[in-house]
Structure 1
């Protein structure tokens, strides 16, 4: 093993551990600073969208963090590693913020009646997948299957890079309608602003990933 490779492989776990610390930092921001969630005369109480968005997007983000961690520690492509690090650190922090808010609201960290019940009922089209939101969905659009996650962990080299980009791009595309809906319909300004930030950032990352796939002669996965 050459010294550069050894350093790169050793640094991956250290970076992941450092990023995990952002989860705690996000929770501290959400719970202790309590801004702008200290409700005054102009701040509404959290509604079903605020609560449901925070629960579901936490779960959606958790898989993205898992995929980013795999790419960060397994890839040898610096562009892929930088992207993975950005996604991992950003989404870990956002999970901490959303979970901190749920604690403030005395709400469970995860939904109990299926995903996406907070979105309009009657069958809303999310990237081509229609669900009866009143009943709740078993999973969320863009999520990788267990088999896909297993395959990603087993991959290496350019195959890992391409699979990561494909899975993460689809993941971003699947979560985009949730972020857009949260930005438009959340009662609290904190959730609305966070959802809008997610929507903008992930649209930018999606373009980057699309370009990276094109440069590698690969194509995006269909959003099922």
Structure 2
């Protein structure tokens, strides 16, 4: 009886189980540095997405075509939500949303920019490795110029639909290039997953927009 009572007390106190101790501590995830691909992608794609949202709202008011308006709504809603996630991560990491003097997409030219430090921004790295150069007047590859946005705002009906589809096709191509860069270089798993999701979704929309342009007797530019 005394042996049984002692065993009961030991079990209640955790002394009778080898695995009852506190769990081993796990290493905290590393925070991306200001010059890392993770941070650079978040900053640049937030800006890129903002213009897509702007163009979508413009065309919504310039046409009554339901297919174009539905596409514009989907793009605006999706990219506004993704932009919020990207900016939220920068806040979580304690990093600025704008870095003075940082060339757009320069993070794409870094190798192992890494976490917790600055990546080297070499001369001429502005467009990023493998990225097409931005056209004059555009901040990043695929982005529209102010003149093109004004042209979209002044168009209506089929002209607005075709111009929106052409501008958004260019925009998506630039976005896919950037998202592929993050999917390959970023180290934050949730951000890599988001980037790959952008690639898949925007490629699907590129095919849809090509069909919509064909239906209107037009084609993508360039």
TM-score band (shorter)? 0.7 to 0.9
2:43 aligned with 1:55: yes
Name 2:27's counterpart in structure 1: 41
The secondary structure found in structure 1 opposite 2:130 is strand
The secondary structure found in structure 1 opposite 2:108 is coil
Alignment of 1:161-176 (within 5 A): 161-176=161-176
Q: Which runs of 5+ in 1 are unaligned?
A: 1-39, 131-137
2:88 aligned with 1:97: no
The 2-side partners of 1:111 and 1:192 are apart by 22
Name 1:183's counterpart in structure 2: 183
- How many residue pairs were aligned? 175
Name 1:219's counterpart in structure 2: 219
Summarize deviations over 1:132-165 as a string: whole Å, max 9, x none.
xxxxxx8210010110000000111110000000
The secondary structure found in structure 1 opposite 2:107 is coil
Summarize deviations over 1:50-75 as a string: whole Å, max 9, x none.
10000000000000000001112222
Deviation at 1:196, TM superposition (A): 0.5
The 2-side partners of 1:172 and 1:41 are apart by 37
Name 1:129's counterpart in structure 2: 133
Name 2:108's counterpart in structure 1: 119
The secondary structure found in structure 2 opposite 1:119 is helix
Name 1:155's counterpart in structure 2: 155
Does the aligned pair in 2 maintain the 1:44–1:187 contact within 8 Å?
A: no
Name 2:6's counterpart in structure 1: none
The 1-side partners of 2:28 and 2:173 are apart by 33
Does the aligned pair in 2 maintain the 1:45–1:187 contact within 8 Å?
A: no
| Greater shift in the superposed pair: 68-77 or 157-166 | 68-77
Q: Which runs of 5+ in 2 are unaligned?
A: 1-25, 111-124
The 2-side partners of 1:111 and 1:205 are apart by 31
Does the aligned pair in 2 maintain the 1:64–1:168 contact within 8 Å?
A: yes
The 2-side partners of 1:218 and 1:200 are apart by 24
The 1-side partners of 2:43 and 2:30 are apart by 19
The secondary structure found in structure 2 opposite 1:129 is coil
Summarize deviations over 1:101-141 as a string: whole Å, max 9, x none.
11111111123212111112566222x438xxxxxxx8210
Which structure has the larger Rg? Answer: 2
The 1-side partners of 2:89 and 2:189 are apart by 12
Please, what TM-score do these two structures have when normalized by structure 1?
Answer: 0.74
| Greater shift in the superposed pair: 206-215 or 112-121 | 112-121
Alpha-carbon RMSD across the aligned residues, in angstroms, is 1.7
